[in-house]
Structure 1
Amino acid sequence: MSSSPTTAPKSIAIVGCGFVADYYLKSLPLHPELKLVGVMDRNGDRSAKFAAYHSISRVYSSLEELLADDNVDIVLNLTNPSSHYSVSKAALEAGKHVYSEKPLAMSMWQAEELVNLAEQRGLYISSAPCSLLSETAQTVWKALRENKVGKVRLVYAEMDDGLVHKMPYQKWLSQSGTPWPYKDEFEVGCTLEHAGYYVTWLTAFFGPAETVSAFSSCLVPDKQTDIPLDMNAPDFSVACIKFASGVVARLTCSIVAPHDHSLRIIGDDGILGIKDCWYYGSPVYIRRSITIRRKRLEGIWKQNYPLVRKAARLGSRSAQEMDFCRGVAEMADAIAGERPSRLSARFSLHNNELVLAIHNSLETGSPYKLTTSFEPIEPMPWAQ
């Protein structure tokens, strides 16, 4: 659901042809302003297989070859999270704009270096997820601007995915046949992988976070895998975040608790909520309280709040309907219009710091005061 491009398409090249790359290719046809010129993976067989499946003519033999291609405007960094920093840094040093899968970097000093480097060179860098640009997120944001539930006091956000280690994850394949990288996923942890889906919404809606008090734990250390894990990462985390606006949010992530991707925004006049942020067209509802015989009944009257526009259907049978390329397209439009990207470098950096603070509570277990901030961002034009 992209508008027709008014300028020449921006050329993108993909680094990393793993599991998530298929999701980007699935939504790429929605964005004619993006032109894929080639792909590269350190595993040559994987990149060749990926390119053959998606009929991509150019397969770069190395990162150096890709970065030397003057036709590439934006590097789409879909590598293993531990490689995000090195690949993004090399791309920026080569004069390329960067859109990175989450997290921006695994350490805060790395993320800060990337943002500073991009700013020094007049380049754009952004980080997934881009679900803030979804029809559902933009609708929730519109309802908040219209004060539909009164003054917001509290938010409950859930990112629970069930007992993943008990699921048949070894049989999970991407569209082009790449296995789900379960060893890497378990070692990175569910917080770094998934907290951003709601962190980006909350910071956009309520402004920069001031402090976060978090607890995380590794409840299933070995994950019962057929190969040993090299490190323990949190498979459960809970964070209480205080925003500059005064709103407090509780965010829970796990791959242990039953599946729950819901959001509830509690205001003085009602509750604004959705069931699942992984669906760009997830319905938005408002629950009101009513008084019957002097007794106040919470959330008994429910109404749907219309989406700002209909979400595109990707025809996916997976556990999500997300337009992964929308963030890349938004960046391309910002570059062409010489305006700040909505998912700006400073916005991405702040969210990276917040997610890292929650993830690292496995070791620290203490309140954390945020050191970064960002300028307010604008809703999408079609959601204003």
Structure 2
Amino acid sequence: MSFPTLQLTDAGRSIIVSALAGGAIVFTKVGVGNGERPADINEITELVNPVKTIGIGEISKGDGCANITAVLDNANLVEGYWWREIGIYAKDSDDNEVIYAYAHAGEHADYIPAYSNTSYLRTTMNITVVVGSAENVSAVINEYIGYVTTETYESHLNDYENPHKVTKEQIGLENVENLSIDDQTPNIEFGVSYETIQNGEKMKTILGKIRLQMNRLISHLSSANPHKITCSTIGAATSSHPHAATDITSGTLPISRGGTGGTTAINARKNLGMQAGRSSINVVAGELCSNFVPFNSPFINEVNIVLTPELQRTQTDLKLFIQYHNKSGFNVCAYSDTITAKIKFSYIAME
């Protein structure tokens, strides 16, 4: 649709003058045609060759102008035409319909094809015409124009406040209380046997069956071992049962259960009250030699001295023993007829 700005006709100017004197501007319809450009647009009161008239869908007044909406389609159109003319009609002072404003597309005219299953056209026209400072501007709105604008349709679609003013009597709800689900008090027909719900049953019967099943479920859940499960049924051990040491493959046994309570040798010795270390003593052949080993323990009950295997094999006449022990350590004594050397040893002390 390629039309220049609509031009007021002499009839349109007269309507404006009448409106400024206290009259009214009443738009009635929109006309389309395929006639040639008139010699003088000012003088026309009708389209050169009218093809179709369209009802006005909406009108609004702006600053010195009126905005008119109409919908053009090719429904029921048997023969196509070149859309060259458009005219806005209004009532004159004698209540006759005349062209208020007119425009001609010239060489920019669009072709409107005849209607078919594969050729359907629909376009919404938003037309602006001058009304000057006239206050009383209106239009004859077509009660049914076959279409609504997208804006009107969306507005209606999103209106959730009962736009059709439907009453509860119209839909047979005049005897139904307007209560929320939380406020309803249904009647229950108490069931006596466990039956499935059947299609077409009354709500009170259905609720009764549900109630019976729910009571049964609650009773079942509150029972102790309702299925009579035993340890052998599920392959579990009884609450009191023994284990062999070889059955233990992970974890740490406490001292009370025969273990050490530790995951490392150091922790195990500590948990058992044992402390270990290494020391040495200078042995002079033919002399009784001693060395005090300090020990961090409140009291030492027992000390075991261990020679290295090599020393045990080669130095058979070496005597190595504990002379005494106290709270701060123990004294290691050594004697040999033949050895003069520094003897290394390890020890384990029990608190």
Which bracket does the TM-score occupy, shorter chain normalised?
under 0.3
> Which structure: larger Rg?
2
Q: Which has the higher contact order (CA 8 A, sep 6+)?
A: 1
Q: TM-score, normalised by structure 2?
A: 0.18
